[in-house]
Amino acid sequence: MDFTHAPPSAACRIGWQSPTPVSEGHRFNGFIETAGSRLQAHGLELTAFFEPDRAPARGLPAEAMPSPLEIAFLPNIRAQVTAMDRCFRRAIDDVGYPAPFHFAFASKANTAEEIVRSTLAAGAHHEMSSDVDVEIVRRMIRAGLLPEDRMVIANGFKGRGSAYARNLLALRGEHPRVVPVLEDASELRGFAGRGVEFDFGIRCKRPREADGAGDRDSRFGVDAAEVERLAAGIEGTPGSRFVLLHAMFGSAGQGEKEFVHALEPGLDLYARLDRNHPSLRFFDFGGGVPGRTTLDDDFDYDRFARLLLKRALDVCTRHGARPPALIGEFGRYTVSEHAAHLFRVIAAKPNDAGIPWYLVDGSIMTSFPDTWALGEHFICLPLNHLDRPFQRVRLGGITCDRDDVYPPRGSTAPLFLPLLSAAELDETPLYVGFFSVGAYQEMLGGVRGSKHCVLPEATEILIDDDENGGFRCDIVPGHTTEDVLHNLGYGRTARAGAPRTAAPVALG
Ligand SMILES: Cc1ncc(COP(=O)(O)O)c(C=O)c1O
């Protein structure tokens, strides 16, 4: 995440905010609601994963799942892609915008195979950032999921001679629309003179404006003068065309108007380049479009699309330029909502100094690193006992780390959960869910790695629609003790991944 983060709001709405029970049928947002005393997300009663006999649902596992449990609801990803496409289509009609919009999935937000497959199945173009991504793209091409009309936008540093640059050259032989986005003048040398035809993009830095905004300090992209030089360099290279200007200036945390305002210098540069660069036709506004990670997120995607198209049209008209086709690289927007992480509350602990603790059976800080690293908030709600009185609590993870808490340190966001005594908790478990945690958290925390306080990776359940109107669930087992020990080097000699002794330098 390379843009400047607006500081997360310390007082946002992350859950229920009152001591009264939640009323039957209450809707928390577009995909979370109550059904009786239990919580449903994406139409699924979530405690059914732990107590399948209580609420059997078509296609859900017949066996009780362990807690903690990660849930990936894949239809939501396809729905997000389709919704944004529709949103821009409506805006194009409203504004009379004369060029198309292209949705690209910024795969760094969640690079798991099932996620990438889901975005491609929904028709998204693909954005990537490093060498290993090239192999992922290759596999998707072989699987028939990346047909020739889809763009593969290659961001990330690709210096001359790097494995990434070399692999992109090879990939171009397998796919006609690989678009390397250059963010440093030196990168072109890795591609020029290799006899391979490429359409290139150039990433520009946000110039300093009168109000002091801008990002001259960024290590990404080049300034306007360098864009001109690089564009000339591309056009002087046989078989190369300059087709795309990448200007990632907006960021999550901005409103629609501020986001579009931040993009204006990029649009302005695009319009000035248009005259001398006839092959230029895409304006890529990068990532930063938010997902709904708290209950008061109200970014209006329709308004954003309309404002952006209007601004692009105005700027281009002012310069007498052709309006560009727009590309958005949507990371957090695409994948935030599809994932939830469920825990069991294993103890209630009074706190003489303030709000009582509820302790959960996993780690908050390793599951959602942005909670402690950036003070980010996510939706947190009970899965059962919603008909009980609530009390304000803080959640503690099971590690011995003082930062393994929720809400994050320094936050004033209230978190209310059902009021249960220790004896009641023993008798009828209380489960809580963190929602909208699908972007970056898993990638930052590491997938199937060993974690803080040697906590094992949780079991994950991948849920998709089946052909008969029900669900299909794939269970990815969590780590066993043996897996964790092996990861950390214990007993490695007996298994794959054993260290080998390095051959020493021969002296004399
Ligand atoms: C070049 C580029 N594009 C897209 C994204 C995705 O951003 P977001 O997840 O905010 O949509 C990022 C994130 O760092 C990025 O660096």
Q: Is 331 in the pocket of ligand 1 (CB under 6 A)?
A: yes
> Does 10 map to a domain?
no
119 and 234 belong to one structural domain = yes
CATH of the domain at 306: 3.20.20.10
Q: What is the pLDDT of residue 494?
A: 55
* Regions of the chain where pLDDT drops below 70: 1-10, 55-56, 209-216, 492-497
DSSP assignment letter at 285: -
Per the CB < 8 A criterion, the answer to whether 325 and 281 are in contact is yes
Helix intervals (H) in 27-128: 75-95, 113-121
Closest CA to 259 of 438, 4, 2, 88: 4
Q: What is the pLDDT of residue 10?
A: 65
141 and 106 belong to one structural domain = yes
Helix intervals (H) in 236-384: 256-274, 301-319, 332-335, 364-367, 369-373
Q: Is 287 in the pocket of ligand 1 (CB under 6 A)?
A: yes
52 and 120 belong to one structural domain = no
Q: What is the pLDDT of residue 422?
A: 85
What domain range includes position 237? 76-335
> Does 508 map to a domain?
no
Q: What is the pLDDT of residue 401?
A: 94
Bridge partners of residue 181, in order along the sequence: 201
Q: Is 221 in the pocket of ligand 1 (CB under 6 A)?
A: no
Closest residue CA from atom 6 of ligand 1:
287
Overall residue count recorded for the chain in this entry: 508
Give this prediction's pTM.
0.94
Which helix (H) or strand (E) covers residue 342, if one does?
A: strand 339-349
pLDDT tens, 143-195?
999 999 999 999 999 998 899 999 999 999 999 999 999 999 899 999 988 88
173 and 49 belong to one structural domain = no
41 and 123 belong to one structural domain = no
> Could you check whether the bond before residue 407 is cis, i.e. omega within 30 degrees of 0?
yes
372 and 455 belong to one structural domain = yes
Q: What is the pLDDT of residue 3?
A: 39
Closest residue CA from atom 4 of ligand 1:
287
Q: Is 281 in the pocket of ligand 1 (CB under 6 A)?
A: no
Per the CB < 8 A criterion, the answer to whether 288 and 336 are in contact is no
330 CA closest ligand 1 atom index: 11
* Nearest-5° Cα angle at 346, 340 to 349: 115
pLDDT tens, 186-233?
999 999 888 889 999 999 998 776 666 666 677 888 999 999 999 999
Question: From the CA of 186, how far away is ligand 1's center (Å)?
Answer: 22
Side chain identity, residue 273:
L
State which of 2, 181, 337 you would mutate to test the pocket of ligand 1, scoring each by most atoms of that ligand within 8 A of its C-beta. Answer: 2
170 and 223 belong to one structural domain = yes
Helix intervals (H) in 428-491: 441-445, 481-487
Side chain identity, residue 495:
R
